[in-house]
Amino acid sequence: MALRPVPMRKVGLLGLRADEERILTLLHDLRVAQVEPLSADAMALLGPERGSEQAREVGDEALRFRGLLSALPPPGPPAPRGFATLADVLAAAKTVPIDAEVGELKREEDKLVTEEKGIRDTIALLDRLPFYTDRLEYLRSPNFHSFYGEGSPEGLAELARTLPRECDAQVIYGPADATTVHFLIVLRPSGADALSRAAQTHGIRLTAIPALAGTPTEERAKLAARAGAITQRRGEIDQRLRAISSEWYATVAAIGEALDIENRKVEVLAKLGAGRETFALEAWVPKRDVDRLRGVIQTATAGRVYFYEVPTTEEPPTIMSNPPGVRRFEFFIRFYSLPQADEWDPTLIFSIVFPLFFGLMLGDWGYGVTILLICIWMIRGFPGAQHLPRAGRSFVKRIMGPKGMQQLAWALLPGCALAIALGFLYDEFFGFHLFQYLFGWTPLVDPLKSVPTFLLLAGYIGLGMVTLGFLLGALKEYFHHKPRHALGKVGGIAFAWGIAGFGLSVIHYHTISPPLTAVVLGSFVGLGLGVVLLVVGEGPFGFLSLIDIVSHILSYTRLVGILLASVVLAVVINDIAVLVFHGIPFVGILLAAVVIVGGQAFNVILGVFEPGIQGARLIFVEHFSKYFSGNGRPFRPFGATRTHTLSSLNADGTAPAGPFVQGPPD
């Protein structure tokens, strides 16, 4: 477990043009190298790599096979295939004869899908027209327009009142209830725009009457028969596509994947340099993989490659490397900013501190259990979410996507566990002292009666977080050979402890004993030393840092503020429910239940957002600002996972020696 991203090295290799295709294939399958444009010094000795004349053919064939793959239903995981050379891939592509038939079937299917949707919509409209029994052709004429509508009685009345007289609107009323009226409206073509505007204003839904001839009952029967015929024909098309797929899918998938790999190679070629018989490339590689990369390439080319490290001052790409449990918190770090490759990776700190802050601010085992169950529901894929109100689902999706919500749920689990434990300690269950009420147990700690102690604890937490931030900042500046800035960070630590000691001395002024005099003197020494070092390290801006340090330490008192706010709000909700229960006869129970359920649900929502947002903010702003720069660029290695083609590597990840074959050819 490291606090640093994976160390990177920029390497280069010089090889023979005859080995270029093989080396690029190996790089693709290793997936450890982010190929970079060749440096200017190397390019001056070589020249740009032009690539082969087959690049356009590869692109066209890749597009063709992507279309086939999207049309064919996969019959199951096929056995991977191998191809010896690019020429073999292109030759195999020319043996696939199914384009015309598959294309014709898919075009017919698309037309049938469109027609079927129109039929379903028309049938749904006809089902709402039982009150109209004449022929539908009577509602179609170049001299008037006809619409089916539904809306509230008040909205329809306003619609009829606001339409101009020259529209000559005629309304045929259908069934109605207290909330909805169904009707047909016929009017002159010149009034269509006025009708549309009025309908939008008054909440009336309008649908144009389709161009049909018979009665609604007759036309519905015809449409249902046509829908059945479409369903039957779509089944026949599906069966034929599955028959084609069972014969050709494995071949199409393998060729398509091989062509995609060749396309990736073409994109990389633009970054290489080449001479008449040689080529060169440069890439960022994780330090841990450099020896493996060198060994694989040297083995595969029988030592015909010159492999070297490239000295550079460029910023390397970043790979974060954390254990599985900590890795779930990388989502928050990436959301804030990806660390640079040569600075600290704060994921480990966030994974420890964020759940701690969340649990401290929640501090209620009723809320903790509720949020824990919600998190488990999210992790399991939101089962039954389709039954929730659409407005609520849309609101949640605007905040974060499903994957992000699941990552958040994983991160909240340990915080919920801590909140449950502290809830038992405080005897807080949705604001009730449940154990005291049931068993007469006195809470071990009561947040409302221990505010000074909690504030002091929050101050110590703030002091510790600020100190850790400055310490990591000092080490970062030291490793970057910036001693003055490192001194400034040390000055921040000295000032933070000095101001903390001074503050404690003031708080305990009336009980200062002689040993505390040393604390007072030490505080003044820390304050003075901190100011000097901050000014030496940061210049005049060091004076501004003094205010930041004090405010950042005090900012951690919000841990207590949010805890107390949650407790007080829960108590208020419960007290209101009790007053309603006793104050209103008969319906008091129902109203009290509404207050309890609605109020506590609102407090649960606050229990997710407030501790979550404020906990992350305390880390991002008050802690990260001491050492974290961010704005790193992600590591994007050349290559992708093979599914339908065989790797150029052996099963143990080594390269086969001898003549190159990309897996055994069929």
Beta strands in 381-493 (DSSP E): none
Mean pLDDT, range 264-293, rounded to an integer: 91
- Lookup: tokens for 17: 């043009």
Domain boundaries, position 127: 120-223
Which one-letter amino acid corresponds to residue 257? E
Mean pLDDT, range 332-341, rounded to an integer: 92
Where does the pLDDT of residue 281 fall: very low under 50, low under 70, confident under 90, or very high at 90 and above? very high
Report the alpha-carbon distance of residue 176 to residue 323 in Å, rounded.
Answer: 64
Look at residue 318 and tell me if it is in a domain: no
Look at residue 159 and tell me if it is in a domain: yes
* Interstrand relation of 170-176 and 205-208 (parallel, antiparallel or unpaired): unpaired
Look at residue 64 and tell me if it is in a domain: no
Q: Which residues contact 605 (CB under 8 A, 6 or more apart)?
A: none
Which one-letter amino acid corresponds to residue 115? E
Report the alpha-carbon distance of residue 216 to residue 534 in Å, rounded.
Answer: 85
Report the alpha-carbon distance of residue 77 to residue 625 in Å, rounded.
Answer: 50
Report the alpha-carbon distance of residue 211 to residue 136 in Å, rounded.
Answer: 8
Residue 214 has pLDDT above 60, yes or no: yes
Mean pLDDT, range 585-598, rounded to an integer: 84
Residue 554 and residue 462 in contact, taking contact as beta carbons nearer than 8 Å: yes
Comparing C-alpha atoms, which of 157, 156, 149 is closest to residue 129?
Answer: 149
Residue 546 has pLDDT above 70, yes or no: yes
Look at residue 577 and tell me if it is in a domain: no
* Start-to-end CA span in the chain (Å): 45
Look at residue 406 and tell me if it is in a domain: no
Look at residue 138 and tell me if it is in a domain: yes
Report the alpha-carbon distance of residue 521 to residue 329 in Å, rounded.
Answer: 42
- The kind and range of the H/E element at 171 are strand 170-176
Comparing C-alpha atoms, which of 285, 262, 350 is closest to residue 11?
Answer: 285
Whether the model pTM is above 0.75: yes
Question: pLDDT: is 380 or 517 the higher one?
Answer: 380
Look at residue 624 and tell me if it is in a domain: no
Report the alpha-carbon distance of residue 584 to residue 467 in Å, rounded.
Answer: 56
User: If you search the block for the tokens 């023979």, which residue do you land on?
Assistant: 16
- The pLDDT mean for the chain works out to 88
- CATH number for the domain spanning 129: value is 3.30.70.2750
Give me the number of domains the chain comprises: 1
Residue 510 has pLDDT above 60, yes or no: no
* Interstrand relation of 278-286 and 8-16 (parallel, antiparallel or unpaired): antiparallel
Look at residue 538 and tell me if it is in a domain: no
pLDDT on residue 623: 94
pLDDT on residue 516: 53
Which phi and psi angles does 476 have, rounded to 5°?
Answer: -60, -45
